Chain A
Amino acid sequence: MKLSRVIAIPLRQFYLYRGSAARVVPLFAWVTVDMILWGFMTKFLGGLARTSYRFVPALLGAVLFWDFMTRVMQGVTTAFFEDVWSRNFLNVFASPITMPEYIAGLLASSIVTSSIGLVVMIAVATMAFGLSFGVYGAMLFPFVMVLFLFGMALGVGTTAIVLRLGPAAEWFVWPIPAILSPFAAVYYPLSTLPAPLQWISRLLPPSYIFEGMRAVVAGHHFPLAMLAAAFALAFAYILLAYWFFARVFRHAVRTGLIARYSAETIS
């Protein structure tokens, strides 16, 4: 893997973001709105429930982490879409860049853009609503890492779908976090779901993290075996997403899809 070829992808993103408010504003606008909305919602629920349950770290914290995972996914897909929108596939893939280098470049772009969103969310949640990350203790880092890994897997996997189906398939990508969220136990405990749906949840690494987050906030123990399962699943999804992208890319090169991508005619 050659570093200069990997760097070319985030550098291109940097140039695009530097000259475009339309790209910069969404990095923090929607997550800020989400923090404000859920911040007041947690305040309202806290007042309504009259219990000792800590809504801010349990609910607002969960929304923050879920938004972070969504930003990681969208960071990957948006960097890919820039090549789709500017019809740049032929120029990029006729260069010496390899598929792993290209994916690494997309991930590097995503790390930067999702970090910006995370910093803004943390600032709003802590300053406006008193969210303290100290409550998660030593579990904070592994929680974030699992969500980050799963976000990357989603990004690479959905990118492969768009590569396979053509530019119009981009509309499959945007709702994916919303589709997964009922099963990811972001807003409510896993036990709220009917038993059959809980099986779907158990296939999703975020469900372990949000269950663990609520347990830690409530002062309970979060078994390390659950954390290990979440990591194992997240890594498995990354491998699966990479395999899927590689397969789709190979198909695209074999059929000529790369050379005539915008035509959307090659199945």
Chain B
Amino acid sequence: MPERCPVHLVFMPATRAPYHCIRVPTATKAACEPVLRVENLRKHYGALQAVKGIHFQVCPNEIVGLLGVNGAGKTTTISMILGVLEPTAGSIHISGIDLARHRARALASTNFAAVYAPLPGNLTVYQNLRVFALLYGVPDFRTRCQAVLKAFDLQKFRNVKCGVLSSGEQTRVGLAKAMLNRPRVLLLDEPTASIDPASARDIRHTIRSFARRSEVGILWTSHNMYEVEEICDRVLFLSHGDIILEGDPKSLPSQFGKPTLEELFISVAREPLDWEGRNQ
């Protein structure tokens, strides 16, 4: 039975009609010590409210999908969790460490990969990993480097400059760098966007097993709803800077009368009031 999220009351910009976040209880992670806790997070650019006081948490071993149309506030949210964008209000705790107060400590157990942040193309794969291993304080670099190169099938590119790799190979290098420090929180912004379906499946498998093995919590954005359904334990729908729907991606579509997650996404993106009203 869907329930209203207690703290969300959002107004549609066009109509000023109120609607609420709907949180559908999921079978997983009823209670956990979250590796990522986001509370009342806001980002305003003057009058523009990019993120409007969102709350969520990510548990160890959990993969949470952050979904929404372009401009919904996903990358803004990720930028704030990465410490490269200062929130207007709210707090972010990574493994219990307040990001605002202890930035370096919090970010030491975080990492990310994004299509818009490739590693420098003028360094080899090994050199990039070496530099980022120092930045993240990775102990026993040689062993760890071998492990991530193997995990993402990059051994043969070890001494190749990243700039000459294909976009898919560069994405894998970015993921290898993201795993380097065994993060507790991993942010993946469209990690398989430029990868062929077969490689994307392998990468999902690698990330999934990494999440199971290493107590990491993953926040994953993607526009590929089949991928989200396959890999995410839970999804958050972001619209106009607020979370308006949360639940299990496998059961959510049927709970809202939609055949697939993609249909639900389109419905949420186009007519949030309409689909919400049908489920009260």
Whether a CB of chain B sits under 8 angstroms from the CB of A191 is no
Min Cβ gap A65→B in Å is: 32
Given the known A-B contacts A4-B134, A4-B137, are A96 and B103 also in contact in the complex, defined by CB atoms under 8 Å?
Answer: yes
Chain B residues positioned under 8 Å from A11 (CB to CB): 130-131, 134
User: Is B86 a contact partner of A96 (Cβ separation < 8 A)?
Assistant: no
Whether a CB of chain A sits under 8 angstroms from the CB of B135 is yes
What bracket does the count of chain A residues touching chain B fall in? 20 to 34
Which of A30-38, A84-92, A109-117 interfaces with chain B?
A84-92
User: In the docked arrangement, what's the CA distance between A13 and B200, Å?
Assistant: 33
User: Is A86 a contact partner of B130 (Cβ separation < 8 A)?
Assistant: no
Which of A44-52, A160-168, A231-239, A254-262 interfaces with chain B?
A254-262
Which of B30-38, B61-69, B115-123, B146-154 interfaces with chain A?
B115-123
Other-chain residue from B45, B82, B103, B119 in contact with A98 (beta carbon distance below 8 A) = B103
Mask of A1-39 contacts with B, CB within 8 angstroms, 1/0: 010110110011001100110000000000000000000
Whether a CB of chain B sits under 8 angstroms from the CB of A178 is no
Whether a CB of chain B sits under 8 angstroms from the CB of A253 is yes
Given the known A-B contacts A253-B86, A254-B86, A259-B79, are A95 and B120 also in contact in the complex, defined by CB atoms under 8 Å?
Answer: no
Chain B residues positioned under 8 Å from A95 (CB to CB): 107, 132, 135-136
Q: How many A-B contacts if CB must be within 8 Å? A: 92
Whether a CB of chain B sits under 8 angstroms from the CB of A246 is no
Min Cβ gap A27→B in Å is: 17
User: Is B85 a contact partner of A12 (Cβ separation < 8 A)?
Assistant: no
Whether a CB of chain B sits under 8 angstroms from the CB of A135 is no
Closest residue of B by beta carbon distance from A256: B85
Whether a CB of chain A sits under 8 angstroms from the CB of B127 is yes
Whether a CB of chain B sits under 8 angstroms from the CB of A97 is yes
Chain A residues positioned under 8 Å from B266 (CB to CB): none
Closest residue of B by beta carbon distance from A23: B122
Given the known A-B contacts A11-B130, A91-B132, are A86 and B122 also in contact in the complex, defined by CB atoms under 8 Å?
Answer: yes
Mask of B105-125 contacts with A, CB within 8 angstroms, 1/0: 101101010101111111110
Min Cβ gap A108→B in Å is: 13
Scoring A7, A16, A90, A255 by chain B CB atoms within 10 A of each residue's CB, the highest score goes to A90
User: Is B121 a contact partner of A86 (Cβ separation < 8 A)?
Assistant: yes
Chain B residues positioned under 8 Å from A254 (CB to CB): 85-86
Interface size counted on chain B using CB atoms at 8 A: 35
User: Is A93 a contact partner of B136 (Cβ separation < 8 A)?
Assistant: no
Other-chain residue from A5, A15, A82, A87 in contact with B135 (beta carbon distance below 8 A) = A5
Other-chain residue from A2, A15, A20, A94 in contact with B83 (beta carbon distance below 8 A) = A94
Mask of B69-105 contacts with A, CB within 8 angstroms, 1/0: 0000001100100111110000000000000000111
Chain B residues positioned under 8 Å from A87 (CB to CB): 117-118
Mask of A241-267 contacts with B, CB within 8 angstroms, 1/0: 000000000000111101100000000
Min Cβ gap A150→B in Å is: 29
Q: Which of B20-76 contact A (CB under 8 A)?
A: 45, 75-76
Chain B residues positioned under 8 Å from A7 (CB to CB): 134
Chain A residues positioned under 8 Å from B110 (CB to CB): 94
Min Cβ gap A141→B in Å is: 32
User: In the docked arrangement, what's the CA distance between A10 and B134, Å?
Assistant: 11
User: Is B120 a contact partner of A90 (Cβ separation < 8 A)?
Assistant: no
Q: Which of A114-129 contact B (CB under 8 A)?
A: none
User: In the docked arrangement, what's the CA distance between A90 and B118, Å?
Assistant: 9
Mask of B244-262 contacts with A, CB within 8 angstroms, 1/0: 0000000000000000000
Min Cβ gap B150→A in Å is: 22
User: In the docked arrangement, what's the CA distance between A154 and B131, Å?
Assistant: 26
Scoring A2, A20, A259 by chain B CB atoms within 10 A of each residue's CB, the highest score goes to A259
Other-chain residue from A20, A86, A259 in contact with B120 (beta carbon distance below 8 A) = A86
Scoring A2, A15, A97 by chain B CB atoms within 10 A of each residue's CB, the highest score goes to A15
Give the interface of A toward B (CB within 8 A): 2, 4-5, 7-8, 11-12, 15-16, 19-20, 82, 86-98, 253-256, 258-259
13 CB contacts below 8 A, A to B, read A5-B134, A12-B120, A15-B124, A87-B118, A88-B119, A90-B114, A91-B119, A91-B132, A93-B83, A97-B135, A253-B83, A253-B86, A255-B45
